[in-house]
Amino acid sequence: MMGTVRCIAIDDEPIALEVIKQFCSRMDGMTLSAFSEPETGLEAIMEQRPDIVFLDIEMNDISGLHIAGCLPENTCFIFTTAYMEYAVDGFNLDAVDFLHKPFSYERFSMAMEKAMRRLNFMHLSDEKRSIIVKQEYNNVPVMISDIIYIEAMENYSKIYIQNGDMILASNSLKSLCDMLPDKEFVRVHKSFLLARNWIKSFTRQNVHLINGTMLPVGRRYADNLLAL
C-alpha cells in the first residue's frame, strides 16, 4: 500500500490550477503543489520527484509535451488541455490519461484511478527489485530504487541511499556494477557508480546530483557519460 500521494500541477491558467486543487482536496491522502510558471514547475518536479504530474500542453513559455519528455523515468503524468489534437502525441509519450478541459470531478477521478493502478504496479515491481550485499557476516537486501550512488573504498563499497543512510558493503564496486542494471546506473569514475535519474547536471570534470552532492568524472569515463 502507498502512503501520501504527492502531486504537482503545471498550468499557466490560474483558474485551471484552482480546479485541480479543489478536485485533489476531495481525495484522501493527496498533496498538491501548483505552478503557473512551467520552468519553475519542472525544477520542482526534478527536486521533489512527485508521484503524479498534471500538465497543460499549450502554455506561453514552454510546451507541456516538452516537459513530459524531460520528466524522470517512470513519472506518472496526466495531460490537462483544451486541445484534443494533442491526444495522440500525449499517449505516445506514455501519458496515463488525457483530460479535455473543462472536465468533471468524475472524469478526474477516473484518471486518478488509472494513475494509482500504475503507481501501485510500479511500487510492487520496485519491491521485488533489490540486490543482496555483504555487510560483515550478514546478507543485506538493498532496493535498487533507493540507491543514489556507490563509492569504492579499497576492498569495500559505500552505498548511499535515499533516506540519508550509508551501507558499508564488503563487495567490490565492480561486483556491484555487475549486479545493477546498465540502463539505470553509470560509472563516472574508477571510484564512483551512480543512479542516472539522480543526475542534475554534468561536465567532463564533475557530476552534480539532485541532492547537492558533486562527484568527479574520471577522464576515461567522460566520453561514455557524454554519449549517454
Task: Kindly report, as residue ranges, where domains of CATH 3.40.50.2300 are found in the chain.
Answer: 5-127
Task: Kindly report, as residue ranges, where domains of CATH 2.40.50.1020 are found in the chain.
Answer: 131-227
DSSP state of 72: P
Q: Is 88 exposed, middle or buried (0-12, 13-18, 19+ CB in 10 A)?
A: exposed
pLDDT tens for each residue of 165-206 = 999 999 999 989 988 888 889 999 999 999 999 999 999 999
Structurally, what CATH architecture does the domain formed by 5-127 represent? 3-Layer(aba) Sandwich (3.40)
Structurally, what CATH architecture does the domain formed by 131-227 represent? Beta Barrel (2.40)
pTM beyond 0.75, yes or no: no
pLDDT tens for each residue of 80-137 = 988 777 666 666 778 899 999 999 999 999 999 999 888 877 765 555 578 888 888 7
Contact 156, 170 (CB under 8 A): yes
